[in-house]
Structure 1
C-alpha cells in the first residue's frame, strides 16, 4: 500500500508552498513561511512572536521591494468648509514606506510627504503646506506611524530625519514648525548654503549626498531649476525617485530653464546607472484625461491622474525642457505642463501632437 507523505510542519493545509527564491530572505521568506501572501518576500509579514531583540530587516532585495498604491486619494469638496475627509491621508506602500497627503480642502496643492524606515533611522521627505497642527496634524500623524512601526519591530524609539525637496517651496516647508523641539530629530537646514554643507556638496550642483537610515541609504541628488535649492531623493530599496516640484504630474513652473534642463539630464544619467522603478513627485494636478489639469485653488479634484510616474517620463521631460529653453511659453504634455517664464494662468498653449483633445466629464 503506498505511503502517504505528510506535509512539511510549517505548511498550512490547502496552501501551496511557493518556490524557493534565488536568495535567502531573513524576513518573510516565502519558502519557509507558507502563510505569507504573494510578493511578501521583502517584508516582515511574519514578525517573530518570540524575539530576543529588535527586528532587523533586509534592505537588499532582488529588484524593487513590493508595494502598492492601488486605491483612490481623497479628492476634496466643492465647499471646502464642509469636507470631512482626514486632514492627512496615510497609505502604507509597504511595511517600511508610507505615503501621506495633505487634504486638498486644507490646502489646494495637496502636497505629498513620504516616510521611510531603515534599521537605524526614519526619514520624512517634505512637510506639507500648513503650519497649524489643528488644520494639518502632520507631526501627530508621523509620531503615530513611528510608534506603531517601533512596536512591531520591538524598538522603544528610532531617530527621525526631516529633509525637504526644496526649502524655498512653501507648499513643502510649512509643517517643519510642528517638529521644533522634537527629541531625537534632525532637520536638514533650509538655507541653500547650509543645506549644501550638510549633504557634503562641495561643488553644487554636482555630486550626490546620502542619508543612512541603517542598511537603507537614501541618495540626495542636486536638482535646481524650479527652485534654487531643489534636490531629489533616491531610495534603493523601493527603487523610487522622489522629485518634488522638479517633475510631477501637474503644472511645473520653471524658474531657471538652464538649471532645469541640466537637472533633468542629471536624473537621466542617474537612471542610466541605477534601477528606477517609479518616480513620485510632490503634487498631482493632472486629470486622467491626457493634457488636462486642474486650475490653481481648486479644492475638488475627482478625476486626478495617479501619483506614480514611469521613469521614461524623465526622457520626455528632457526633450520638452530643451524645446522651451530660452522661450516664454507654456507647453502641454499628456502627463505634465511646462511653464517657462509665463504665469500658470497663461492662455497660450502648445497642444501635444497625437493626443486627442478630450473634454473631461463635469463633476456636477
Structure 2
C-alpha cells in the first residue's frame, strides 16, 4: 500500500529511523487529522506548492473497480451512455473504457500518474474525437489531478501494447501536436529503440519513469509481433493488451505466444502481480462462453481482472494448440490458433462446466 504524501516544493527525503513503511499515508503529517483515510483525498485544496507522493509500497497500493461497466444497447443508435467511461482505481490510476456502441470491442485504456508525469496505455479503436473523445477525457483528468497536486503542467507519454492492434491504436492521432506529450512510435524497430530494446528484444525490459513510479516495459510478441506488456510496481498490475485477457485470444505466432507467457511467468516470480488487466472483455459471466463478435449489447460480462495464475493456464493450453489450427475453450478465455476468430468448435473441453445462460446471445 502507498507509503506517504508530502506537501513540498522538492521531493521528500526518507524518514530517518523509520523501521516500517506506513501502509497508506503517513498519519503524522498535519494534513491527516484523526478520522480521515490517509490518502490524497485528505489534502486540503488550499495548500500551496507541489505535492509529491511517495510511491514506495508494502504490497499493492489500494484501489478498486467499484462500478459495473456500461454494456451498450441492442440498438446502438439509441445508446445515450458516455462515449468514454472513467473509473478511478485510485487517486493516481484511472481505467477508461470505450462505449461498446461506438466500437463493439469496447477496448480499455489506462492512465497512470507519477510525480513527474503521466502515462496513457493504449488509445482505443476509434480515431474521430466526436465519436470517441479520448483526448478530451484524458485532458480533463490530468487538469483535475494537476490542480490537486499543485502543478501547472503534467507531461504525458502515450504508449501502445501493440502498434499493429487496430482496436488499441486508432485514437493515437488525437494526441498529435499536444504540448508536453511523447508518443511512443508505432513502427517496431523505432519502438524498440525508444525503449532501449534494439539489442535485446524480446528478452530485455524497458522503463518509463513517471517520477518515483517506474513502469516497466516487457516485450510480449505472440498475439502481435510488436506486442509489449506494462508492469506497474505501485499497484502491482500487469497490463497485457491482447496477449492475455478474458476473451477471444487470436494467436499470431504460437511459438512467440507461449514464449511471451513464459517470460511473464518468470517475471512475476520476482515482481508481485495483484491483477492482470487486458485490452478487452469478450467473455460472458458463465465459463467458456463469449459474446458474438460485432455485438453492441454486452450485459452480464465477466469481470476485467484476471489473477496471475491465469498465466499458468494460458501457458499450458498455449502449448497444447502450438502447431495446430484449432480453437480451444477455457473458462476465462478462448484460444484461436491458425483459424478465423469466427471459427466454432463442437468439442467442449473437459473441466469446463457447460452452463447455458438463461437468455439468448
Question: Taking structure 2 as the reference length, what is the TM-score of the superposition?
Answer: 0.91
Q: Unaligned regions of 5+ residues in structure 2, if any? A: 1-18
Larger mean Cα displacement after TM superposition, 205-214 or 46-55: 46-55
Deviation at 1:49, TM superposition (A): 4.7
Superposed CA offset, 1:246-267 (max 9, x none): 0000000001000000000000
2:99 maps to 103
Greater Cα shift, 232-241 or 23-32: 23-32
Q: CA deviation at 1:162?
A: 0.2
Query: 2: CA distance between counterparts of 1:271 and 1:148?
Result: 34
Q: Deviations over 1:299-341 (max 9, x none)?
A: 0000100001100001110000000000000000000000000
Matches within 5 A, 1:1-364: 22-24=20-22, 27=25, 29=27, 33-37=33-37, 41=38, 43-49=39-45, 51-201=47-197, 202-362=199-359
How many angstroms apart in 2 are the aligned matches of 1:91 and 1:30?
30
Q: State the distance in 1 between where 2:351 and 2:33 align.
A: 50
SS at match of 2:223: coil
State the alpha-carbon separation in 1 of the partners of residues 253 and 188 from structure 2: 16
Q: How many residue pairs are counted as aligned between the two chains? A: 341
Tell me the secondary structure at the aligned position of residue 33 of structure 1: coil
RMSD of Structure 2 on Structure 1 (CA):
1.8
Structure 1 regions of 5+ residues with no counterpart? Answer: 1-20
Residues 26-66 of structure 1: per-residue CA shift (max 9 Å, x gap): 946389533224xxx5x312114553410000101210000
- Quick check: 2:246–2:302 contact (8 Å CA) kept in 1? yes
Aligned to 2:9: none
CA distance in 2, matches of 1:144, 1:88: 12
1:101 alignment partner, SS class: strand
Per-residue CA distance 1:156-186 (angstroms, 9 max, x = gap): 1110000000000000000011111000000
- What is the distance in 2 between the residues matched to 1:144 and 1:119? 18
TM-score, length basis structure 1? 0.90
1:18 alignment partner in structure 2: none
What is the DSSP-based 3-state SS (H/G/I as helix, E as strand, rest coil) of the residue aligned with 1:194? Answer: helix
Q: Deviations over 1:76-106 (max 9, x none)?
A: 0000000000000000000000000000000
Counterparts of 1:356 and 1:215, CA distance in 2: 45
Q: What is the deviation of 1:203?
A: 2.0
- Bigger Rg, structure 1 or 2: 1
